[in-house]
Protein backbone atom coordinates (compact mmCIF):
# COMPACT_ATOMS: atom_id res chain seq x y z
CA UNK A 1 0.00 0.00 0.00
CA UNK A 2 1.37 3.45 -0.88
CA UNK A 3 2.53 5.72 1.91
CA UNK A 4 2.52 9.50 2.21
CA UNK A 5 4.93 11.57 4.31
CA UNK A 6 3.30 14.00 6.72
CA UNK A 7 5.53 16.73 8.23
CA UNK A 8 5.16 18.62 11.48
CA UNK A 9 5.95 22.36 11.56
CA UNK A 10 7.03 21.95 15.19
CA UNK A 11 7.96 18.96 17.30
CA UNK A 12 5.11 17.70 19.46
CA UNK A 13 5.96 15.77 22.62
CA UNK A 14 5.27 12.08 22.22
CA UNK A 15 5.19 12.08 18.42
CA UNK A 16 7.80 11.53 15.74
CA UNK A 17 8.58 14.53 13.49
CA UNK A 18 7.88 12.28 10.48
CA UNK A 19 4.77 10.15 10.13
CA UNK A 20 4.09 7.59 7.36
CA UNK A 21 0.40 6.95 6.84
CA UNK A 22 -1.42 4.57 4.51
CA UNK A 23 -4.40 5.29 2.25
CA UNK A 24 -6.87 4.70 5.04
CA UNK A 25 -5.08 7.38 7.06
CA UNK A 26 -5.19 9.70 4.08
CA UNK A 27 -8.97 9.34 3.90
CA UNK A 28 -9.02 10.18 7.59
CA UNK A 29 -6.88 13.26 6.86
CA UNK A 30 -9.39 14.40 4.25
CA UNK A 31 -11.97 14.74 7.02
CA UNK A 32 -9.58 16.35 9.53
CA UNK A 33 -9.69 20.13 10.21
CA UNK A 34 -6.95 22.00 8.32
CA UNK A 35 -5.47 25.50 8.46
CA UNK A 36 -2.56 27.09 6.62
CA UNK A 37 -0.93 27.88 9.97
CA UNK A 38 -1.09 24.51 11.69
CA UNK A 39 -1.90 22.13 8.85
CA UNK A 40 -4.00 19.09 9.82
CA UNK A 41 -5.30 18.64 13.37
CA UNK A 42 -5.36 14.96 14.26
CA UNK A 43 -6.97 13.64 17.45
CA UNK A 44 -4.58 11.31 19.28
CA UNK A 45 -5.43 8.21 21.25
CA UNK A 46 -4.02 9.81 24.36
CA UNK A 47 -6.40 12.73 24.38
CA UNK A 48 -3.98 15.16 22.75
CA UNK A 49 -4.19 16.99 19.45
CA UNK A 50 -1.46 16.29 16.91
CA UNK A 51 -0.77 19.04 14.42
CA UNK A 52 0.98 18.35 11.15
CA UNK A 53 1.23 19.91 7.72
CA UNK A 54 1.59 18.73 4.17
CA UNK A 55 4.65 19.40 2.06
CA UNK A 56 3.02 22.30 0.21
CA UNK A 57 2.71 24.34 3.41
CA UNK A 58 6.42 24.16 4.20
CA UNK A 59 8.47 27.24 3.32
CA UNK A 60 12.19 26.43 3.14
CA UNK A 61 14.28 29.63 2.95
CA UNK A 62 17.67 28.14 3.81
CA UNK A 63 19.47 26.72 0.79
CA UNK A 64 21.22 23.37 0.88
CA UNK A 65 24.67 23.93 -0.62
CA UNK A 66 27.15 21.68 -2.33
CA UNK A 67 30.77 21.70 -1.17
CA UNK A 68 31.73 23.80 -4.19
CA UNK A 69 29.02 26.34 -3.37
CA UNK A 70 30.23 26.51 0.23
CA UNK A 71 33.78 27.26 -0.93
CA UNK A 72 32.57 29.97 -3.31
CA UNK A 73 30.54 31.62 -0.54
CA UNK A 74 33.51 31.45 1.84
CA UNK A 75 35.61 33.18 -0.80
CA UNK A 76 33.03 35.96 -1.08
CA UNK A 77 32.83 36.28 2.71
CA UNK A 78 36.62 36.56 2.94
CA UNK A 79 37.03 39.28 0.32
CA UNK A 80 39.12 42.15 1.65
CA UNK A 81 40.69 40.07 4.42
CA UNK A 82 44.40 39.46 4.10
CA UNK A 83 45.12 36.04 5.54
CA UNK A 84 48.31 34.96 3.83
CA UNK A 85 48.82 31.38 5.03
CA UNK A 86 47.35 28.93 7.52
CA UNK A 87 48.59 25.66 8.95
CA UNK A 88 46.20 23.06 10.37
CA UNK A 89 47.28 19.77 11.90
CA UNK A 90 43.77 18.48 11.15
CA UNK A 91 44.52 18.54 7.41
CA UNK A 92 48.26 18.16 7.93
CA UNK A 93 49.44 21.07 5.81
CA UNK A 94 49.52 24.75 4.87
CA UNK A 95 47.03 26.57 2.65
CA UNK A 96 47.20 30.04 1.13
CA UNK A 97 43.51 30.05 0.15
CA UNK A 98 41.56 32.10 2.73
CA UNK A 99 38.40 30.12 1.92
CA UNK A 100 40.14 26.96 3.19
CA UNK A 101 41.27 28.55 6.47
CA UNK A 102 38.62 26.95 8.64
CA UNK A 103 38.35 25.09 11.96
CA UNK A 104 36.24 22.05 12.82
CA UNK A 105 33.16 23.12 14.74
CA UNK A 106 33.60 20.21 17.14
CA UNK A 107 37.10 21.32 18.11
CA UNK A 108 37.12 21.56 21.90
CA UNK A 109 38.67 25.02 21.59
CA UNK A 110 35.73 26.26 19.51
CA UNK A 111 32.77 25.11 21.57
CA UNK A 112 34.35 24.86 25.06
CA UNK A 113 37.21 27.36 24.94
CA UNK A 114 39.73 24.62 25.73
CA UNK A 115 42.70 26.06 23.89
CA UNK A 116 45.66 28.42 24.24
CA UNK A 117 47.29 30.79 21.79
CA UNK A 118 50.18 33.16 21.28
CA UNK A 119 51.44 35.67 18.75
CA UNK A 120 54.86 36.57 17.36
CA UNK A 121 55.64 39.65 15.31
CA UNK A 122 57.21 39.41 11.86
CA UNK A 123 59.62 42.31 11.38
CA UNK A 124 61.47 42.70 8.07
CA UNK A 125 61.47 38.96 7.49
CA UNK A 126 62.40 38.01 11.07
CA UNK A 127 60.23 36.48 13.76
CA UNK A 128 60.69 38.55 16.89
CA UNK A 129 60.89 36.61 20.18
CA UNK A 130 59.52 33.45 18.60
CA UNK A 131 61.21 31.17 21.13
CA UNK A 132 60.04 33.24 24.09
CA UNK A 133 56.45 33.14 22.84
CA UNK A 134 56.75 29.45 22.02
CA UNK A 135 57.95 28.68 25.55
CA UNK A 136 54.94 30.54 26.92
CA UNK A 137 52.33 28.74 24.82
CA UNK A 138 53.83 25.38 25.79
CA UNK A 139 53.63 26.40 29.43
CA UNK A 140 50.02 27.54 28.95
CA UNK A 141 49.17 24.25 27.23
CA UNK A 142 50.65 22.27 30.13
CA UNK A 143 48.67 24.28 32.69
CA UNK A 144 45.53 23.76 30.57
CA UNK A 145 46.14 19.99 30.35
CA UNK A 146 46.43 20.09 26.57
CA UNK A 147 48.87 17.45 25.27
CA UNK A 148 51.16 18.48 22.42
CA UNK A 149 50.46 17.18 18.90
CA UNK A 150 54.21 17.40 18.14
CA UNK A 151 57.43 18.05 20.02
CA UNK A 152 58.67 21.61 20.51
CA UNK A 153 61.14 21.59 17.62
CA UNK A 154 58.53 20.27 15.17
CA UNK A 155 56.05 22.96 16.23
CA UNK A 156 58.76 25.59 15.82
CA UNK A 157 59.61 24.31 12.33
CA UNK A 158 55.94 24.30 11.30
CA UNK A 159 55.51 27.91 12.43
CA UNK A 160 58.59 29.11 10.57
CA UNK A 161 57.57 27.26 7.39
CA UNK A 162 54.06 28.74 7.56
CA UNK A 163 55.53 32.26 7.66
CA UNK A 164 57.93 31.38 4.84
CA UNK A 165 55.09 30.12 2.61
CA UNK A 166 53.08 33.28 3.32
CA UNK A 167 55.82 35.53 1.95
CA UNK A 168 55.01 38.04 4.72
CA UNK A 169 57.79 40.46 5.65
CA UNK A 170 55.95 42.53 8.24
CA UNK A 171 52.98 41.13 10.09
CA UNK A 172 51.89 38.70 12.76
CA UNK A 173 52.01 34.96 13.27
CA UNK A 174 49.23 33.76 15.57
CA UNK A 175 49.02 30.14 16.61
CA UNK A 176 46.83 27.92 18.77
CA UNK A 177 47.10 24.61 20.60
CA UNK A 178 43.77 22.94 21.35
CA UNK A 179 42.42 19.71 22.79
CA UNK A 180 41.35 19.00 19.21
CA UNK A 181 38.22 17.85 17.37
CA UNK A 182 36.05 15.10 18.83
CA UNK A 183 32.51 15.69 19.95
CA UNK A 184 30.51 18.36 21.77
CA UNK A 185 31.03 17.00 25.28
CA UNK A 186 32.37 19.05 28.15
CA UNK A 187 35.28 16.68 28.64
CA UNK A 188 37.92 16.30 25.89
CA UNK A 189 38.01 12.53 26.52
CA UNK A 190 36.52 11.91 23.07
CA UNK A 191 39.03 14.17 21.32
CA UNK A 192 41.51 11.60 19.97
CA UNK A 193 44.28 14.03 19.07
CA UNK A 194 45.21 17.62 20.03
CA UNK A 195 45.46 20.21 17.28
CA UNK A 196 47.84 22.94 16.18
CA UNK A 197 46.68 25.87 14.05
CA UNK A 198 48.65 28.89 12.83
CA UNK A 199 47.83 31.85 10.62
CA UNK A 200 49.87 34.68 9.12
CA UNK A 201 48.50 38.11 8.34
CA UNK A 202 50.14 41.47 7.47
CA UNK A 203 50.23 44.22 10.05
CA UNK A 204 51.43 47.80 10.01
CA UNK A 205 53.70 48.51 12.97
CA UNK A 206 53.61 52.28 12.53
CA UNK A 207 54.66 53.81 15.84
CA UNK A 208 52.22 56.13 17.60
CA UNK A 209 53.96 58.15 20.33
CA UNK A 210 50.85 60.11 21.25
CA UNK A 211 49.71 59.54 24.82
CA UNK A 212 46.39 57.86 25.57
CA UNK A 213 43.80 57.67 28.34
CA UNK A 214 43.02 54.55 30.37
CA UNK A 215 40.30 53.79 32.89
CA UNK A 216 39.99 51.44 35.82
CA UNK A 217 38.13 48.36 34.61
CA UNK A 218 35.01 47.29 36.48
CA UNK A 219 34.99 43.89 34.72
CA UNK A 220 36.05 41.16 37.18
CA UNK A 221 39.63 40.07 36.58
CA UNK A 222 40.40 36.42 35.87
CA UNK A 223 41.52 34.37 38.89
CA UNK A 224 45.34 34.28 39.18
CA UNK A 225 45.56 30.61 38.15
CA UNK A 226 43.85 31.49 34.84
CA UNK A 227 45.29 34.98 34.37
CA UNK A 228 48.75 33.50 33.95
CA UNK A 229 47.53 31.24 31.11
CA UNK A 230 47.12 32.73 27.63
CA UNK A 231 43.88 30.89 26.91
CA UNK A 232 41.33 31.60 24.20
CA UNK A 233 38.80 32.62 26.87
CA UNK A 234 39.04 36.37 26.29
CA UNK A 235 35.46 37.30 27.18
CA UNK A 236 36.51 39.34 30.27
CA UNK A 237 39.24 40.99 28.18
CA UNK A 238 36.82 41.88 25.39
CA UNK A 239 34.25 43.26 27.85
CA UNK A 240 36.94 45.32 29.57
CA UNK A 241 38.05 46.78 26.24
CA UNK A 242 34.47 47.56 25.22
CA UNK A 243 33.89 49.31 28.54
CA UNK A 244 37.02 51.42 28.05
CA UNK A 245 36.08 52.42 24.51
CA UNK A 246 32.58 53.38 25.67
CA UNK A 247 34.26 55.82 28.07
CA UNK A 248 36.48 57.27 25.37
CA UNK A 249 39.59 55.51 26.64
CA UNK A 250 42.24 53.40 24.95
CA UNK A 251 42.13 50.50 27.41
CA UNK A 252 40.99 49.42 30.85
CA UNK A 253 43.34 48.63 33.71
CA UNK A 254 42.56 45.70 35.98
CA UNK A 255 43.11 45.81 39.72
CA UNK A 256 43.50 42.48 41.54
CA UNK A 257 41.53 41.36 44.58
CA UNK A 258 44.22 42.74 46.90
CA UNK A 259 43.93 46.23 45.44
CA UNK A 260 47.16 46.11 43.44
CA UNK A 261 47.52 47.11 39.79
CA UNK A 262 47.39 44.03 37.55
CA UNK A 263 47.38 44.55 33.76
CA UNK A 264 45.40 45.77 30.76
CA UNK A 265 43.11 43.58 28.63
CA UNK A 266 45.95 42.50 26.33
CA UNK A 267 48.99 44.37 27.52
CA UNK A 268 51.12 44.88 30.62
CA UNK A 269 51.55 48.18 32.38
CA UNK A 270 54.67 49.93 33.73
CA UNK A 271 55.47 53.13 35.60
CA UNK A 272 58.35 55.51 36.12
CA UNK A 273 58.52 56.72 39.73
CA UNK A 274 60.82 58.36 42.29
CA UNK A 275 61.50 61.52 40.33
CA UNK A 276 61.68 59.74 36.98
CA UNK A 277 64.54 57.48 38.07
CA UNK A 278 62.93 54.08 38.66
CA UNK A 279 61.03 51.79 36.29
CA UNK A 280 58.53 49.53 38.06
CA UNK A 281 56.12 46.83 36.85
CA UNK A 282 53.45 44.77 38.65
CA UNK A 283 54.48 41.25 39.65
CA UNK A 284 53.89 38.53 37.06
CA UNK A 285 52.57 35.91 39.50
CA UNK A 286 48.97 37.16 39.12
CA UNK A 287 49.02 38.42 35.52
CA UNK A 288 50.16 37.17 32.14
CA UNK A 289 53.94 37.33 31.87
CA UNK A 290 54.18 39.50 28.79
CA UNK A 291 57.14 38.70 26.55
CA UNK A 292 57.48 42.36 25.58
CA UNK A 293 57.35 43.47 29.23
CA UNK A 294 59.99 40.94 30.26
CA UNK A 295 62.19 41.94 27.35
CA UNK A 296 61.77 45.57 28.36
CA UNK A 297 63.18 44.82 31.80
CA UNK A 298 66.33 43.59 30.09
CA UNK A 299 66.52 46.51 27.65
CA UNK A 300 65.96 49.06 30.43
CA UNK A 301 69.32 48.07 31.91
CA UNK A 302 70.86 50.16 29.11
CA UNK A 303 69.13 53.23 30.53
CA UNK A 304 70.48 52.35 33.96
CA UNK A 305 74.02 52.17 32.58
CA UNK A 306 73.52 55.58 30.95
CA UNK A 307 72.29 57.13 34.20
CA UNK A 308 68.76 57.80 32.91
CA UNK A 309 67.39 55.29 35.43
CA UNK A 310 68.67 54.16 38.80
CA UNK A 311 66.88 50.82 38.93
CA UNK A 312 64.27 48.49 37.42
CA UNK A 313 61.97 46.60 39.80
CA UNK A 314 58.93 44.31 39.79
CA UNK A 315 56.71 45.25 42.75
CA UNK A 316 53.16 45.44 44.09
CA UNK A 317 51.68 48.84 43.34
CA UNK A 318 48.39 50.48 44.32
CA UNK A 319 46.19 52.51 42.01
CA UNK A 320 46.88 55.60 44.11
CA UNK A 321 50.62 55.16 43.66
CA UNK A 322 50.18 54.51 39.95
CA UNK A 323 48.25 57.70 39.39
CA UNK A 324 51.01 59.65 41.16
CA UNK A 325 53.72 58.22 38.89
CA UNK A 326 56.01 60.40 36.80
CA UNK A 327 55.25 58.31 33.71
CA UNK A 328 52.92 55.48 32.81
CA UNK A 329 53.02 53.16 29.80
CA UNK A 330 51.41 50.09 28.25
CA UNK A 331 53.64 47.26 26.99
CA UNK A 332 52.75 44.50 24.53
CA UNK A 333 53.36 43.06 21.08
CA UNK A 334 50.31 44.89 19.78
CA UNK A 335 51.02 48.33 21.27
CA UNK A 336 54.82 48.05 21.70
CA UNK A 337 55.34 50.92 24.18
CA UNK A 338 52.30 53.18 24.48
CA UNK A 339 52.53 56.30 26.70
CA UNK A 340 49.58 56.88 29.06
CA UNK A 341 48.88 60.50 29.98
CA UNK A 342 45.55 60.13 31.83
CA UNK A 343 44.06 57.50 34.14
CA UNK A 344 40.34 57.97 34.79
CA UNK A 345 39.98 61.69 35.42
CA UNK A 346 43.53 62.24 36.65
CA UNK A 347 46.48 63.30 34.51
CA UNK A 348 49.73 61.38 34.84
CA UNK A 349 52.28 63.99 35.94
CA UNK A 350 51.93 66.94 33.53
CA UNK A 351 49.77 65.00 31.07
CA UNK A 352 52.56 64.71 28.48
CA UNK A 353 54.54 61.82 27.06
CA UNK A 354 57.61 61.18 29.20
CA UNK A 355 61.29 60.85 28.20
CA UNK A 356 61.77 57.35 29.69
CA UNK A 357 58.76 56.01 27.79
CA UNK A 358 60.13 57.37 24.53
CA UNK A 359 63.62 56.03 25.28
CA UNK A 360 62.24 52.56 26.00
CA UNK A 361 60.28 52.60 22.74
CA UNK A 362 63.46 53.49 20.85
CA UNK A 363 65.28 50.59 22.51
CA UNK A 364 62.50 48.16 21.60
CA UNK A 365 62.37 49.31 17.96
CA UNK A 366 66.15 48.91 17.70
CA UNK A 367 65.93 45.45 19.26
CA UNK A 368 63.20 44.42 16.82
CA UNK A 369 65.25 45.55 13.80
CA UNK A 370 68.78 44.54 14.82
CA UNK A 371 68.63 42.57 18.06
CA UNK A 372 70.61 39.41 18.82
CA UNK A 373 69.74 35.96 17.39
CA UNK A 374 68.16 35.05 20.72
CA UNK A 375 65.21 37.34 19.89
CA UNK A 376 65.27 37.39 16.06
CA UNK A 377 64.71 34.27 13.95
CA UNK A 378 65.30 34.62 10.21
CA UNK A 379 62.50 33.28 8.04
CA UNK A 380 63.96 31.51 4.99
Question: What is the distance of C-alpha 344 from the center of its chain?
Answer: 27
Active-site residue (options: 213, 222, 230, 286): 230
- Residue 328, burial from CB neighbour count under 10 angstroms (0-12, 13-18, 19+): buried
Cβ(146)–Cβ(115) under 8 Å?
yes
Asked if 230 is an active-site residue, the reply is yes
* Residues paired with 132 in a beta bridge: none
175 sits in which H/E element: strand 171-178
DSSP 8-class letter at 272: E
What is the rounded CA–CA span in Å between residue 353 and residue 328?
9
What is the rounded CA–CA span in Å between residue 306 and residue 276?
14
313 sits in which H/E element: strand 311-314
What is the rounded CA–CA span in Å between residue 225 and residue 143?
9
Cβ(259)–Cβ(321) under 8 Å?
no
What is the rounded CA–CA span in Å between residue 193 and residue 29?
53
Tell me which residues are annotated as active site: 230
Amino acid sequence: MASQLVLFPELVAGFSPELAVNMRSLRFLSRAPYSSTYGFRLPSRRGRTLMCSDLSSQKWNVPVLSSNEVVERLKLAGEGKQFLAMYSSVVGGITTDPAAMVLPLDDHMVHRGHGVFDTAMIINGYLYELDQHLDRILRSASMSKIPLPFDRETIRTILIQTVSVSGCRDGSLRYWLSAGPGDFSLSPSQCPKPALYAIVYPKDFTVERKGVKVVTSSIPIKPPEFATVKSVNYLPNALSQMEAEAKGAFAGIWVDNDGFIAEGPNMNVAFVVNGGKELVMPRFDKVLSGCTAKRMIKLAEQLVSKGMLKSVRVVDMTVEDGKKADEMMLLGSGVLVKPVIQWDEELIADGKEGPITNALLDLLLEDMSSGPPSVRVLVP
